[in-house]
Amino acid sequence: MAILVGGLGCSHVPSIGAALDKGLMQTPDWKPFFDGIGPGRDWVAAQRPDIAVAIFNDHGNAFFLDRVPTFAVGCADRYEIADEGWGPRPLPAFDGDAAFGWHLADTLVANSFDPTVLQEVEVDHGLQVPMELFWGRPAARWPVRVVPIFVNVIQQPTPLPSRCYAFGAALRQAIDSFPGDARIVVLGTGGLSHQLQGARAGFVNPAADRAFLADIARDPEKLASMSREDYVRVFGSEGAELIMWLVMRGALDRAVRVCHSHYFVPASMTGVGMLVLENAAKAI
């Protein structure tokens, strides 16, 4: 059966993508962030996952308000790079893994989660930025296949944090029951604290961000039991997307070890984090 090699968490701020495109990684604004991503990239290079199950949200590039899936699973063999308004970024399209996508859809429905099943769908910075931070920018082809899970974190009602955590457990069941010996990593994206709308725009909460990075490893139930309103209050209206990290965490064992944790604020208007977790029971 497939092997779960670990869980990753990562912000997906578009300005990080712009910094990568413009080569600004060593400028004073960006150096403290990019200096801290090396261990995450090294971990991925050493673990060589075959499949990355990436949990993120669309930002008005794939879905309009005419249809808003709460959870959607990519079951395609290819995902093109979205044009978000400034032309597609210079990245190769992602190879998908339709077999795992369909197996995940089957397993989710068998566990009373009913996702939208996606074929042709473009992916935006929500997926691109975390993938590039962990895998680097490939010249021609990504060294890993991607299975995207889209979560609605924009239009109310958004899913409960506890539901995201339980979704992760069903995802784990899909990994453990997937025939073959694929090495699978789960990647939760978004956050950390930020607010882009209203007079409270520019709200960041570095203390809460640092606590989140610790709690997601040692006390995920605490984060899963918070209300959606709690997330908005503590992390900002857009920082509430941190519930997507709970899908990743729910796929791991209760006991994990932290292989890497990095925090920086602000990237544009956002506190940004990178986290690498492994099941504590996994042989080192």
Partner 1 sequence: MTADTIPDTPMFDRARQLRGYRLNKATMALRFPERRDAFRRDPAAYLDSYGLTAEEKRAALACDWRELVRLGGNVFYVLKLSAIYPAKMTEIGAHQAGIEHETFLRERLGKK
**Interface with partner 1 (CB under 8 A):** 14-15, 59-61, 64-65, 82-87, 154-157, 195-204, 228-229, 232-233, 236-238, 265-266, 268-269
136, 37 in Cβ contact below 8 A?
no
Q: Which is nearer to partner 1, 66 or 181 (CB)?
A: 66
Q: Which is nearer to partner 1, 40 or 190 (CB)?
A: 190
Least distance (Å) from partner 1 to the CB of residue 196?
5
Pairing of strands 94-95, 145-151: unpaired
Residue 283 has φ and ψ, to the nearest 5°, of: -65, 140
Q: Which is nearer to partner 1, 92 or 202 (CB)?
A: 202
Q: Which is nearer to partner 1, 228 or 257 (CB)?
A: 228
- Active site positions, annotated: 125, 194
Residue 272 has φ and ψ, to the nearest 5°, of: -115, 145
Residue 244 has φ and ψ, to the nearest 5°, of: -70, -25
In order of 26, 179, 201, 283, the CA distances from 150 in angstroms are: 32, 24, 25, 31
How far separated are the first and last CA of the chain, in Å rounded? 20
Q: Which amino acid is at 29?
A: D
Least distance (Å) from partner 1 to the CB of residue 57?
9
Q: Which is nearer to partner 1, 18 or 258 (CB)?
A: 18
Whole-angstrom distance, CA of residue 263 vs CA of residue 272: 6
Least distance (Å) from partner 1 to the CB of residue 168?
23
Least distance (Å) from partner 1 to the CB of residue 66?
8
b/e per residue, 14-40, with b = 16+ CB within 10 A? bbbbebbeeebeeeeebeebbebbeeb
148, 56 in Cβ contact below 8 A?
yes
CA-closest candidate to residue 273, choices 7, 14, 15, 36: 36
Least distance (Å) from partner 1 to the CB of residue 154?
6
276, 259 in Cβ contact below 8 A?
yes
